[in-house]
């Protein structure tokens, strides 16, 4: 007889874990690992549909979400965590900003931190070490709603078994590790990008410029392009508490005073500003369409017309523009910023050269420099040709 299912909540969605391939004792063990996420099926507010997550014993195409029981039962928890994370991200795409990050909070749940890092860069270690002094929200995915509140994902912590086997991880219950409590929704106090450097003698917390911080965070996001105005929403998130910040350290436990002070500080109004450039509907890049390979010409005539390629979202900060096309970010700076901003509609290469001279000053090689920059932006797919005549001769000048 199959073991009884249990229900868990993962950053705002609920799953009925159906352990069809497990015995009662095995199910109790798995349930203990996920104890912080276990809820009663009818508890709390309306969370919509409770979907099945099936632990299967046969290798066949699953009907919905789930995971195949591996030959070694000890490998199941990590396999389940990976599958559960992917399935939950799929259910919440387009709703939540989801980041590869550890989530910590004050013990009373009044403030939260997102510690963003790539895979293998210390998220679980930060959660295990710091979670004994803070509240525990997640060691893997920090999900942030439109009101800048962090929805918990208190999964088992995935810890590397041995230094020479980084691909193998064991799961540990946050209760067994004596981590702090898990609040339901904690307001975000700040976002911090982790950078571990064994040569650093003393940890430092550095405020970053907006585009630098956003570029780093975009690389550690999931389904970002599915959100409405994704870069504007990301900018609102990373600037909370005076950020974005980068934390450079050798040992994460040495960072506790810095993070304690960051959480204890009075909420700081964002000090960075930006200008949002959403595409009009007819120029929007479809969210589910990958960026194709641009066909850039080798040369352009001075009267050739170019314009912005369809884009998903863009923000302008200082002399830079961060453009998102599908799921790919493009950082445009200097003269490229001027060209992208002026190419809102079809514009000739001659007119772009005049605009660049107006903003950056005259130069005898201005036509060539502008032409090279336009060709680079065309090759990247950030600009596109938008009319005749096609390139047939070399650039003027």
Listing DSSP states for 220-285 in one string gives: TEESGGGSSSHHHHHHHHHTGGG--EEEEESSGGGGHHHHHHHHHSPPPPP----EE-PPPGGGBP
Give percent helix, percent strand, percent coil of the chain, each to the nearest 5. 30, 30, 45
- Strand-pair partners of 115: 102, 192
Pairing of strands 347-348, 221-222: unpaired
d(C-alpha 4, C-alpha 307), whole Å: 59
Domains and CATH numbers, the chain: 6-83 (no CATH), 97-264 (3.40.50), 281-385 (3.90.930)
Report the predicted TM-score, pTM, of the whole model to 2 decimal places.
Answer: 0.91
Residue by residue, pLDDT tens for the chain (397 residues) are: 668 999 999 999 999 999 999 999 999 999 999 999 999 866 544 556 899 999 998 876 667 899 999 999 999 999 999 999 999 999 999 999 999 999 999 999 999 999 999 887 789 999 999 999 999 999 999 999 999 999 999 999 988 765 555 556 899 999 999 999 999 999 999 999 999 999 999 999 999 999 999 999 999 999 999 999 999 999 999 999 999 999 999 999 999 999 999 998 766 667 899 999 999 999 999 877 767 667 666 677 778 899 999 999 999 999 999 999 999 999 999 999 999 999 999 999 999 999 999 999 998 999 999 999 999 999 999 999 986 544 333 333 3
- Please give the backbone phi and psi of residue 256, each rounded to the nearest 5 degrees, phi first: -60, -45
* Backbone dihedral angles phi then psi of residue 280, each to the nearest 5 degrees: -65, 155
Q: DSSP per residue over 168-196, as a string?
A: -EEEE-TTTTTPBP--SSEEEEEEEEEEE
Tokens of 229: 């105005």
In this structure, are residues 397 and 356 in contact, taking their beta carbons and an 8 Å threshold?
A: no
Contacts 24+ apart (CB under 8 A), 362-366: 365/397, 366/397
């Amino acid at each position: 007889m199959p073991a009884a299912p249990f229900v868990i909540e993962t950053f705002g969605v609920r799953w009925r874990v159906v352990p069809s391939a497990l015995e009662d004792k095995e199910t109790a063990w798995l349930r203990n690992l996920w104890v912080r996420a276990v809820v009663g099926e009818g508890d709390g507010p309306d969370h919509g549909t409770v979907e099945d997550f099936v632990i299967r014993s046969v290798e066949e195409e699953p009907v919905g979400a789930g995971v195949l029981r591996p030959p070694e039962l000890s490998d199941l928890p990590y396999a389940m965590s990976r599958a559960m994370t992917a399935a939950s991200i799929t259910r919440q795409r387009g709703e939540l900003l989801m980041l590869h990050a550890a989530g910590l909070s004050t013990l009373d749940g009044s403030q939260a931190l997102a510690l963003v890092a790539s895979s293998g860069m210390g998220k679980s270690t930060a959660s295990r070490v710091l979670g004994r002094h803070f509240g525990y929200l997640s060691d893997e995915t920090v999900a942030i709603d439109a009101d800048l509140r962090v929805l918990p994902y208190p999964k088992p912590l995935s810890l590397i078994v041995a230094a020479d086997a980084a691909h193998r991880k064991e799961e540990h219950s946050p209760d067994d590790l004596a981590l702090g409590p898990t609040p339901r929704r904690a307001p975000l106090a700040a976002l911090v990008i982790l950078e571990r450097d064994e040569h650093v003698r003393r940890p430092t917390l550095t405020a970053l410029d907006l585009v630098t911080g956003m570029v780093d965070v975009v690389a550690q996001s999931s389904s970002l392009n599915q959100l409405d105005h994704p870069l504007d929403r990301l900018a609102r998130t990373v600037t909370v508490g005076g950020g974005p910040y980068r934390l450079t350290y050798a040992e994460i436990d040495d960072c506790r005073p810095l993070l304690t002070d960051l959480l204890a500080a009075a909420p700081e109004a964002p000090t960075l500003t930006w200008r949002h450039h959403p595409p009009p509907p007819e120029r929007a890049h479809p969210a589910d369409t990958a960026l194709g390979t641009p066909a850039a010409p080798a040369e352009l005539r001075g009267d050739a017309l170019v314009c912005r390629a369809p884009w998903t979202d863009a923000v302008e900060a200082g002399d830079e523009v961060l453009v998102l096309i599908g799921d790919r970010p493009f950082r445009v700076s200097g003269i490229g910023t001027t060209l992208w901003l002026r190419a809102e509609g079809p514009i000739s290469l001659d007119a772009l050269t005049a605009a660049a001279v107006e903003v950056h000053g005259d130069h005898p090689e201005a036509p060539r420099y502008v032409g090279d920059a336009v060709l680079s932006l065309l090759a990247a797919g950030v600009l596109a040709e938008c009319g005749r005549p096609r390139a047939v001769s070399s650039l003027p000048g």
